Structure 1
Amino acid sequence: MPDSLKDRVKAAAGADEPQPDHQPVTDLAVNDSARQWLLRRETYFTDALPRHVDRAHFMAVAQARMEDLKNCTPASIHTALLACARFGLEPDGRQAAIVPYSGVATFQPMYEGYIELMYRHPRVDSVHFGWVRENDAWDYTPTEPSPRDFYHKPRVDLTDEERGKVILAYAFAWIDGRRSQVIILNRSQAEGIRNKFSKAYKKAESNGKRDSAWHTDFDAMWAKSAVLRLRKVVPTSTELAELIQHDDDLDDAHTVPPVIRGTVISRDDQPGDGEHPAAAASWPAAAQPGSGARDAEGGEEQ
């Protein structure tokens, strides 16, 4: 698409623009400063949110994540939170996660985030995901008409351990009152998707770090792979297509976050000419504990 938001963001950022130095948050004063930094830039994120998302709740969830990101650069936190806001996904670890990779806060959409975006399409009535365990009652006969082709009844009187290990992930949608094809993915198939398509996994294997999402949370990636296969049978919105593309870009970049499509700059806090907002981000200076002085905002204004 000519002159897309992605192109405009890249042009504003500049191809060779240096990133700010790593600035860890290590004490109470700086933790407080990090929260002040977030609140100072609130309009960056709330302006990017879809109308149906509660702004106060989104900011509360974002603020709760700041402690986990204390060793990440402010620029990467800004970019990751902006991605969450752009897609209207909360960084709560269920719809989306912000994962620190070597000091870089990285936006990672989760399977519930994909379900949320699918559900927003006016033709989609609901989207369902589930796990089948060894001792569950289930059957899949693809030659039967929907909805008789698939059956799953978990044993609610048993614990997950008593139900046995997970053997299948499945997902389906109800579209215009009719159930879609059921997507079924076993562990071996998930491993095949990982081995064939994930560049981040291959890099983490080759360098010995084993820190890709497939290494650290296999089940979450297994679930996301099953839900992603639904995109072939559900109506696809531009928003969903962009999230899938972002996920692909993220994996291609080997866990380095790509430029976020649809970047929104706050009306009240504009960066200088030609300056990308994420590139200018820095923590404000912190007062010494017990000094009685208020935190002073430092760094370039955004």
Structure 2
Amino acid sequence: MVELGYALSSEEHPPNDLVENAARAEDVGFDFLGISDHFHPWTSQQGESPFVWTTLGGIAHATDDIPVGVGVNCPIVRYHPANVAQAGATVAEMLPGRFALGVGTGELLNEHVLGDHWPEHAVRLEMLEEAVDVVRKLWTGEQVNHHGDHYTVQNARLFTVPDEQPPIHVSAYGDAAARTAADIGDGFWSVGPQDTVETWEEEGGEGPRYTQLQMCYAETEEEAVETAHEWWPNDALPGELSAQLPTPVHFEQATQMVSEEDIREGSMVTSPDPEAHVESIREAVDAGYDHVYVHQVGPDQESFFEFYEEEVFPAVEDAELA
């Protein structure tokens, strides 16, 4: 049966609001939380990008039992994997038994900020594989010396480590990435009902399969479309633009091509009918995902929480999806 999660959008909400939303999601009855790790929002309208690791500390103290995953961190350019290892180990200690690290090859939007070269995707996959190896070595609590093709770690030891290493879930949007994810990961992470999960399974991938769905709930579909177009027009951008554009300004220029009709006809659910939300979740389950978490676009989170608690959750149960 599917587990339903709530997406904490670091691009849209300040850190204290994210912490409050995490606690509210647990109270409402969501099964898990996923939080994004961005240096920039996609557009200036979204307006936020708090440091995810600090926010996670607040979430650890504001929640009781709900599992929390980073979806996803890029441990290869802006972060050195040794820093990710220390950050992840600390959060795992604060969220004992309920933290998962999601990793991927990143987007230029976030990773160019230190002035480093942005490698082609095949090279980034090699870097990701080595980075995950470094993280796992450091999570043993032993002293680590690593001299690889991309990273050096010298006489490094983490003294704050959890008793059990948290799982690492790997993101993939193509067959090559899916093969790497199957090889190095403890689970799979994606956005939308991507069929890449099939390649991951064929290549021997094991573990939970996460995907994020974009929603915008409002009293009317027209209001939802307007809100989504204002706050999340990047959802309708085609191809690899999301990985290759370097700044929010470039995304704003690209999304000038996105109309409200594009939002209405796209993959984001904007209907106030709970059955439309159930159908989107069902499509993800049919595609092979067992952990589906929903991102409510825009500032109004409370109406979304009430709608899911009162209407969507019962409809999901009636549909025998959860």
Q: TM-score, normalised by structure 2?
A: 0.23
Point out the structure with max Rg over C-alpha: 1
Q: TM-score, normalised by structure 1?
A: 0.24
Comparing both chains, which one has the higher relative contact order based on Cα–Cα distances under 8 Å and sequence gaps of 6 or more?
Answer: 1
